[in-house]
Every structure is written in C-alpha cells, then in structure tokens.
A and B are shown apart, each in its own frame.
Chain A
Amino acid sequence: MDEPALGGDAQAWFDELYRPEVRRAPQSYYREVRDTHPVIRTPSIARGEHGGAGGDDDGSDKTMIWVAKRSDIDSGLRCPEVYSSRLSEPVLMLPTGVDPPDHVKYRRILDPLFAPRNMNKLEEPITQYANELIDAFIERGECDYITEFAIPLPCNVFLRLVGLPLDELGDWLRLKDALMRGSGETAMLAFAEVDERFEALVIERRRDPRDDVLSQLLSLELEGEALSHDELLAIFRLLLVAGLDTVTASLACFYSFLSRNPEHRRRLVNEPTIIPAAVEELMRYESPVPYLPRVVTKAAELGGCPINAGEDVVFMLGSGNTDELFYDRPDLVDFDRPSVRHLSFGGGIHRCLGSHLARIELRVSLREWHRRIPDYHIPDDVELDFLPLVPLAPRQLDHLPLVFDQVAG
C-alpha cells in the first residue's frame, strides 16, 4: 500500500494550482496530477485563502488529500458515511452541509421546487430575457460577455425565481463575492448582512406571501413542522452562493472556449439540435466547478492509500471529467460523444439542486446567442485571466470582451 505523497513539494503543488496558465486551461495540469500524484496529501487550505499554500497561518497542522482519478472520485462521492459534508465552515449551509439521514429529509422537500416540471416553465421567460440582453449590445458589434450577459442572465432569473428585488442585484452580487472569495473577516461581515436582509425578507413574506421560492420555503414542512429560522437561513445562504455564481462561471468557461474554436461554434449555428449535447460536453471538458470538498469521518483507504479521520479531502471533478481511463480522447471536445457522463453537477446524494435550471439557462443561452451572433472573437490584445481557484470557488472571469464578426439581427 502506498502512502499518499507527502508535504515535501506542497508549496510547488499550490504554486502550480494558482498559475494563470493552469487557471485558464487546467486540463493538461489534471493529466499531470493523475500521472504523478493521483492521491496526494498537502497541508490543508482554508476556504477563501487565495495566496498560495495554506494551513500554516493559523498554526494548524490539518492535512488535505487531493483525489484525481475518476474511479476514486466516483467511489468517494457515493460514500457519504466516510466522506462527510460536515465541513468546518464558518456558517452552515443546507442541505450541502449535512449528511444522511438529515440530508435526505431536506432534499425531499427542496427537490420538487427545482424539479424539471417547475424549471421547464422558465424556458420561455429565459429565452425572452436572453434576447433583451442581446438587443442591448448587438448593434454595437461588441460587448463584455461577462458583465452584459453571463452575469445578468442567470442572476436575474435567480432573483425573480427566489423573489428578491431586481434592483438589489448589485448588493447580492457583492455579498456573494464576499462569501465565496472573501477572507475571514470580509466573509463574516457578509454573512451577518445576509442574515439581516433575510430576516427582513421573511417578515415581509409571512405578511404577504407571493408566487416565489422564498414564500414556498416558508410553507415547507419537515415531518409535520415548519422549518426553523436557522434552517431557512442556511438554505437561503446556499441558494445565494449557488444561484448567483455557477451559471455565470459556466458561461464564462463556455464562451472562452467557443470564441477560440470556430469549428465548434459553426456546428452550434448550423445544427442547433446538438446544443443539449454540446452543453454536456462543454460542462465535462471545462468543469466550471472543479473541486468538491469533503471531510473524512473514519480511517479508510482511498486509491490504495490510508487516510485518517478528520482529514480534508478535495475531489478533483475536473480531473475526473478528463480521465483517460474513463473517456476516449478526453482532451478532445467532441459534441458527438455518446452519453457524456460527467461530474460537473457533482455526484452522489449532493447532486446539484439547481442542475435542471442550469441546463435550461445554458441551452437557451447557446441557442439564442448563436442564432443572432454566429461569429465572434476575443480581441487580440486581450489575455483571459481566470480568477484564482480556491477549493469551493468556480472557474470565473471578471471580463470577456467579444467582437462580433457576423450578426443575424
């Protein structure tokens, strides 16, 4: 049995993780990791630390195990008894922060709210909104894809669905960024502000229920009892960080690829029926949410390596999605790949609650955009700068300038 490779080159490991080239195109990095360190133990990295090697600042000697092979990731995600979601987070989020049996109870009441039968109704309004956004910049012949499309589309859909005032988008985005990427104190202040705002919203909705997810949450019952304020708040926190970040990140990844690959773009234009398959393949190859954290509950074995209770684990979904033992020619983006089976919405019991909504948003975005703007490119002098990868943060761009070469009106 091999001991996981230990700390000696941990600094090099983290330096590599944060290199701009790796952030931009991590696929070859994943391959190298699978070849050299399919399971590696490093010092633990706290959430929100982007500086480099973590773990030492607070004097803790906590360790973290990175898992790169698809077979190990699959078995880990399907084994919540060993790989727990009860991470030492500053605040609780539900249902991502709990294990069975509690987890199942929350999912039974939340899944119906985000199930296809409800989400499919949103296709029409999302289509309309996507076109309104395109109307605003199409004649200019260029746009910043992130600020003018990838942020407003999913975020407005989310605000409407949950029932938050549309003119508060800026505030909620600021809070989401502080929660996801801020360091200790910034994140805690943001959590406090979210708590306060949520309290006001709850009072408002109890008085005046509407047709939105907030009102639905208030009427949910768990084993005959309404959810407590703390439970509601923990669910709300999750909706916020998941709903305001992940689809934006996915669109950023998709368009950074498509704007550099005209032959793939052309197929979306000429064969719009392949768009659902293209979404799956781009989700696989780009893996917008590349890392999924867990904590070990008891001594176990992972990929032939002994691991201990209390250790942090990071399942490298992006690596699992490009594992050559699992896919034929994994580094090829192939919209004709049969049965693309990826882990970009996670795997096991914590499968992304919003995946059905996300798929609709991504498909509509690709369809409407390529119908109206079939050809576009990134200006030559622009270098894409993906934000640093922290364990929980998606791959994200602040800006993606696009120039249109052809518009269809």
Chain B
Amino acid sequence: MHLEIDESRCTGHGRCYDIAPELFEPDEYGHGRVTKVGASGTFDRDRALLVVRACPEDAILLAEG
C-alpha cells in the first residue's frame, strides 16, 4: 500500500499536506508531494483515505500494491 499523486490533476489546493503533513508535503509551487512515509505504506489506511477524499481534484491515489 502506498500513496501517489497524479500530477496531471493536482492544481495545488494543498489539502493533502494540510490534513496529513506526515504523508504529503508542499513543493515550491504549493503542489502536493508524497513523503517517505506516504510512499512506504507504514501509515493508517483510514487516515490516507480521508486525504484521498479531501482532494478537490481527485488527484490522490491509494495504491494497494
């Protein structure tokens, strides 16, 4: 399980790193970037889903592999 951001969809609302700063961080444009924790899968699934649902652009993917 890990998190991904579809960069073609992200427009920098910043909800992901605002709600879960351990899973996402802002880049210099204010777009979201997955942190090491977010990429590693060592996080709570429900919390990740909360962020997936908070993205106004549907840009976050929780990959189950």
Contact = CB atoms under 8 A, between A and B. Distances in A.
Interface of A: 78, 107-108, 111-112, 114-117, 276, 338-343, 345, 347-351, 355-356, 359
Contact of B29 (A78, A111, A348, A350): A111
Interface in B9-64: 9, 11-15, 17-19, 26-31, 50-51, 53-57
Given A115-B28, A116-B30, A276-B18, A339 B11 contact: no
A78 B8 CA distance: 11
Contacts of B50: 338-339
Interface size class of B (residues with CB under 8 A): 20 to 34
A317 B39 CA distance: 34
B56 A341 contact: yes
Contacts of A343: 56
Nearest to A111: B29
Contact of B28 (A78, A112, A339): A112
B28 A117 contact: yes
Top 6 nearest A-B pairs by Cβ distance?
A115-B30, A339-B54, A111-B29, A339-B53, A351-B11, A116-B26
A111 B14 CA distance: 12
B26 A115 contact: yes
B54 A340 contact: yes
Given A339-B50, A356-B14, A117 B56 contact: no
Q: Is the interface of A mostly helix, strand, loop or mixed?
A: helix
16 contacts: A78-B9, A78-B57, A112-B29, A115-B29, A116-B26, A338-B50, A340-B54, A341-B53, A341-B54, A341-B55, A348-B57, A350-B11, A351-B11, A351-B56, A355-B14, A359-B18
Contacts of A349: 11
Nearest to B9: A78
A348 B58 CA distance: 10
Nearest to B19: A339
Contacts of A107: 29
Contacts of A355: 13-14
Which has the most chain A C-beta neighbours within 10 Å: B9, B12, B51?
A: B12
Given A107-B29, A116-B17, A341-B54, 19 more contacts: A78-B9, A112-B28, A112-B30, A115-B26, A116-B26, A116-B30, A117-B28, A338-B50, A338-B53, A339-B19, A339-B54, A340-B54, A341-B53, A348-B57, A350-B11, A351-B11, A356-B30, A359-B14, A359-B18
Contacts of A347: 11, 56-57
A117 B53 contact: no
Contact of A114 (B9, B18, B30, B53): B30
A108 B29 contact: yes
A116 B32 CA distance: 11
B35 to A, nearest CB: 15
Contacts of A359: 14, 18
A54 to B, nearest CB: 30
Nearest to A110: B29
Contacts of A111: 12, 29-31
A276 B17 CA distance: 13
A355 B57 CA distance: 15
Contacts of A351: 11-13, 56
